[in-house]
Amino acid sequence: MLTDVGFYAVILALLVLVYAAGISVVGARRNDDRLVQSGRTAASLAFPLMLIGAAGIWAALLNNDYGVKYVASVSSRATPLFFRLTALWGAQDGSLLFWCLLMSIFVFFAMRRPWREDKSLLPYVTATMALVLAFFIGLTLVSANPFARFDFPPPDGRGLNPLLRHPGMIIHPPVLYAGFTGFIVPFAFCMASLITRRSDDLWLRSSRRWTLVGWVFLTCGLVLGGRWAHDVLGWGGYWAWDPVENKSLVPWLLGTAFLHSAMIQEKRGMFKNWNVALMMLTFGSIVWATAIVRSGVLTSVHAFAQSSMGPIFLGFLVLMLSGMLYFWLTRLDVLKSDNQLDRMFSREGIFLIQNVVFVSSAITVFALTSLPIATEAFSGQRLTVGPPYFNAVVVPQFFVLVVLMGIAPLMAWARANGKTVARQSRVGLFAAALVAALWFVTFTLRDMSFWTVVAALLVGLCAYSLAITLMEFARGTRARMTANRENAPTALARLFGRNQRRYGGYFIHLGVVVLAIGAIGKGFFGGDAIRNVALNDTFTYRGYAFTYRGLQTVPCEFNDCQTLQAALKVTRAEAAPPFAQAGDFVGAIYPHVDRYEVQQFTSTIADITGSFNEEVYVILSAWEDEGASATFTVYINPLINWVWLGGVLMVVGFFLAFWRTAPETVARPVLAPAAGVAGK
């Protein structure tokens, strides 16, 4: 019963959104605030209606209603309660419904916010968000209806995909979807500003915090996805340039470029055209990313099965891009910058270079990811490129960005002084030389090669940016201590409080640098080996000794699988100065293999030991004679935990930048001539 109510609630949500879009535009044209407010209220109703729709599927999952096709495909009587709840986003149909639910939440809170200085944007913000959400709800009902039923229900379901039974994959999709759907708010403000022909930065200021929210969810989604891949897929890494990984990276790169470029418009009245283009590209890339994953046109361990959504998505994408291009081109006269770029040797010049590199990286990833689709369309054959090519053309651009992060804080607005920049760079250059030398002695001399020398240089670049960023904190803290006679902790805390955006952004930069160092350690110095060993025998690899203690069947974590678990003792095979000695106990690990009979699926789950700076990652690859011997794949991952630490620091930086301790002042907007817009 509740499932049927949920179905009709989703249909009603679609209808109220169409009404909200139409009545808002009519209200704007007639300058009738009552109609605009009616559209605002209607758009707000989408969230409770979508929540009822999701509750309908949750009720079916909890009640084991296998008459609902979606429930039978993702759940079973053996599926634990918690995983029955998270199965809502465990497959195509339910996850698209959940996507719409999350987007409706952002629409609801955007509609409920106070509309004061930006009230003139309200009707077109409402219309834009309502139309986009209506499309996704309509797509759900037409091509991925989770409420569809069997004529003859099966007695039991298939159960949740074993790859999704991991904390990272339970949290990763909702967080990533929140990142994607969160950008609907700044996109709607951007379109409303274009439609109303505004020449100021009102839309930037009104949507700034919404952009940050979308960005941090997208960041968390990328990091959590990497962690899931590392723990579940059994290949020892966290990023493989998989098409679904790439589709999340492209909007992150464009959105990050926008966050940097928006500061230039707010500070100097420049890059208006560029910011509008970046926001449109960011949201367009989100729709593209959703399309390639949900249509099944690209093969990926993350992607959904092939579906009929491709042509529908293509039509929507063409229509949306055409509308964006029209409004952009017809508003070029009101998007002229208030100031010109005086010289490249300035903060805005460095930001411009950063933006070019961000966009260049995004275009490169987009082009290489879309290559199989293009080649198949024109030649009938799929041409793909692997991780080595991505690493060769994209990774160097990322390290250019790391260096620019260190240079930008030293630059003044408009015109920077070369001597001042050189003087302030001394600490960073010293740190770069020192760290590169230490890295060279510690790692490179063991295995001298061209790439290990490159790694030492890259770490030096990271150290430069890290030192410059820390010096910004130290300089600001020291100034407050001198001027206000505050102690260091108080001065640092108040430094953040007075300029949260700036120093929160610097903290995010620290996270990026730490993540980059982790990527260098894993990418350049990680290693793997496959070894076969008899029971109670030992093999060594990269300074570690692995003693095989046996194989046994143990209770499975879930009721619908069987688990075969190996046991190994890991010790030091050789001394690792200054503290570790040969023979030191490192850890006991238990890699295992889970067999799911219903799904006819085998999952190989690694176990991990080692230290924070060097991870030992082992999987059980094969076994013979009931465990008399076994084959293990061993990965040594130096500094991989720095990747996760960097992600955490980036999120902390977001909160430091986001939570205001004092209200921001809003400048009076400047309007370009326009007519027929509500609120003017």
pLDDT at 299: 57
Distances (CA, A) of 640 to 570, 608, 636: 19, 12, 10
User: Distances from the Cα of 98 to the Cαs of 60, 102, 640, in angstroms?
Assistant: 15, 6, 32
Sorting pLDDT into bands at 50, 70 and 90, what band is 296? low
Distance CA 473, CA 485 (A): 17
Query: What local confidence, expressed as pLDDT, does residue 324 receive?
Result: 94
Q: Residue 674 above 50 pLDDT?
A: no
- Which amino acid does the sequence have at 64? N
Q: What percent of the chain has pLDDT over 90?
A: 56
**What tokens were used for 573?**
């095979």
- What pLDDT, on the 0 to 100 scale, is given for residue 465? 92
What integer pLDDT is reported at residue 207 of this predicted model?
A: 92
Mean pLDDT of 80-103: 91
Q: Which residue has the tokens 């989100």?
A: 286
Evaluate if residue 563 carries a pLDDT over 80. yes
Q: Where are the alpha helices (DSSP H) in 270-308?
A: 272-294
Amino acid 667: pLDDT: 42
For the chain, percent of residues with pLDDT exceeding 70: 94
For 100-109, write each residue's pLDDT tens digit: 999 999 999 9
Residues 503-522 have pLDDT tens digits of 889 999 999 999 999 999 99
Mean pLDDT in residue range 594-621:
90
Q: Kindly report the pTM of this predicted structure.
A: 0.90
Pairing of strands 629-638, 538-541: unpaired
298 pLDDT band, cuts 50/70/90, is: low
Which amino acid is located at 610 in the chain?
G
What confidence tens digit (pLDDT) does each residue in 655-665 have?
Answer: 888 876 544 44
Q: What are phi and psi of 116, to 5 degrees?
A: -115, -90
Q: Specify the DSSP class assigned to residue 236.
A: S
Q: What angle do CA 520, 524, 527 make, to 5 degrees?
A: 125
* pLDDT tens track for 243-257: 888 989 999 999 999
Reply yes or no on whether the pLDDT at 599 is more than 50. yes
Which stretches within 295-341 are classed as H helix?
A: 309-329
Mean pLDDT, the chain, integer = 88
Distances (CA, A) of 379 to 298, 382, 638: 16, 8, 43
Q: Reply yes or no on whether the pLDDT at 553 is more than 80.
A: yes
How many CB atoms are located within 10 Å of the residue 397 CB? 17
**450, β-bridge pairs:** none
pLDDT at 445 (0 to 100): 61
Q: What is the pLDDT of residue 297?
A: 63
pLDDT at 569 over 70: yes
- Cα angle 208-214-216, degrees, rounded to a multiple of 5: 100
How far, CA to CA in Å, does 139 sit from each of 104, 129, 181, 313, 315? 15, 16, 15, 9, 12
